């Protein structure tokens, strides 16, 4: 059984619908990750990584964008700061040569 099959089975249950509504209410329909309006519920520890499907401590409200972007990462990995991409880096100091700092040339 794949993760998609497992999640599909969970979503089809009356229990999931109750838990989902309770989590959205508990979290005031506010995305745990970005603060926007939440319309989905996300597993902090994904089912594929052993997360509990119905445990409230493993569930948070999430907007669809964040829930999709997180995919099957843990919340800790998803929230980890990303290093800047090379195209956003800028060099702010000039290159210093040995001659400019008074180093003797041999």
DSSP notation for 58-74: GEEEE-HHHHHHHTTS-
Q: 64 with 40: CB under 8 angstroms? A: yes
Residues paired with 61 in a beta bridge: 41
Q: 66 with 34: CB under 8 angstroms? A: yes
User: What is the tens place of the pLDDT at every residue in 75-105?
Assistant: 888 887 767 666 655 555 555 555 555 555 4
User: What is the tens place of the pLDDT at every residue in 51-62?
Assistant: 999 999 999 999
- What residue ranges define each of the domains in the chain, with the CATH number in brackets? 3-80 (1.10.30)
The H-or-E segment that residue 41 falls in is: strand 40-43
User: What value does the mean pLDDT of the chain take?
Assistant: 81
């Amino acid at each position: 059984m794949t993760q998609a099959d497992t999640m599909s089975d969970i979503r089809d249950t009356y229990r999931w619908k109750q838990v989902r509504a309770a989590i959205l209410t508990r979290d005031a329909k506010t995305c745990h990750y970005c603060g926007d309006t939440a319309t989905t519920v996300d597993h902090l520890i994904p089912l594929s990584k052993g997360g509990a499907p119905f445990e409230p401590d493993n569930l948070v409200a999430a907007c669809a964008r964040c829930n999709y972007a997180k995919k099957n990462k843990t919340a800790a990995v998803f929230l980890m700061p990303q290093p800047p991409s090379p195209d956003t880096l800028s060099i702010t100091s000039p290159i210093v040569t040995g001659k400019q700092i008074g180093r003797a040339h041999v």
